[in-house]
Amino acid sequence: DAGVTQSPTHLIKTRGQQVTLRCSPKSGHDTVSWYQQALGQGPQFIFQYYEEEERQRGNFPDRFSGHQFPNYSSELNVNALLLGDSALYLCASSLALGTLHIYEQYFGPGTRLTVT
Amino acid sequence: DQQVKQNSPSLSVQEGRISILNCDYTNSMFDYFLWYKKYPAEGPTFLISISSIKDKNEDGRFTVFLNKSAKHLSLHIVPSQPGDSAVYFCAASARQGGSEKLVFGKGTKLTVNP
């Protein structure tokens, strides 16, 4: 039973560029959340996707966008990269039961993004 | 304003003894709490959770205690093992409020010495 997978593992980009990160959820999960973890901080919620729609969003600018595909996998896109976007980007998957109750989120290994 | 606080950046414990990791929260809408463990170069691993309708939840060596009036929870690890050395994150969500996002603390680095 495959857990949450993310690609790529590491990425180096230049300021102003655009980046796409990918995530495949744990088998049987239908909800994907994205988090940004800066050095020395806890993960910060970016947004969550369910049924191919963004259902909740944290305090991140519109430069951060995402997508969920019919197979529940997801992409995180960041445009006009800034130095401050350098962080570990974590994808978490979970299972929605009903409209509100989502059980524990399971995390992937993350993508380390460095912006120079 | 940090809604979930882990005030101890680090904790060192002898193998076999109890490890107690603490977490405080400010948002009274939080009704579900989770602990995650994170090793370097890996994503956080879910450990144990507790709903606000309970005050204790146990899973093997791990027990989480919730004191709603004090807005405080703690994770007890007994007995501590060297393999428990990792960063531990406390997280909270306001599920009944319709928010399933997890709000994390900054983490506590636990070192268990042999």
Q: pLDDT tens for residues A59-74? A: 999 999 999 999 999 9
Largest CA distance in chain B: 44
Instruction: Say which residues have a Cβ less than 8 Å from residue B95's Cβ, sequence separation at least 6.
Output: A100, A101, A102, B31, B32
Nearest to B16 by CA among B114, B108, B85, B110: B114
pLDDT, position B71:
97
Contacts of A107 in chain B (CB under 8 A): 36, 43-46
Q: pLDDT tens for residues B56-97? A: 999 999 999 999 999 999 999 999 999 999 999 999 998 766
- Angstroms from A109 CA to nearest CA on chain B: 4
Report the mean per-residue pLDDT for chain B. Answer: 94
Residues of chain A with pLDDT under 50: none
Number of A–B residue contacts, CB under 8 Å: 60
- Distance between CA A52 and CA A42 in Å, rounded? 27
Q: Which two tokens stand for residue B77?
A: 């690890």
Mean pLDDT calculated for residue range B6-31: 96
Whether residue B87 contacts residue B110, with contact meaning beta carbons closer than 8 Å, is answered with yes
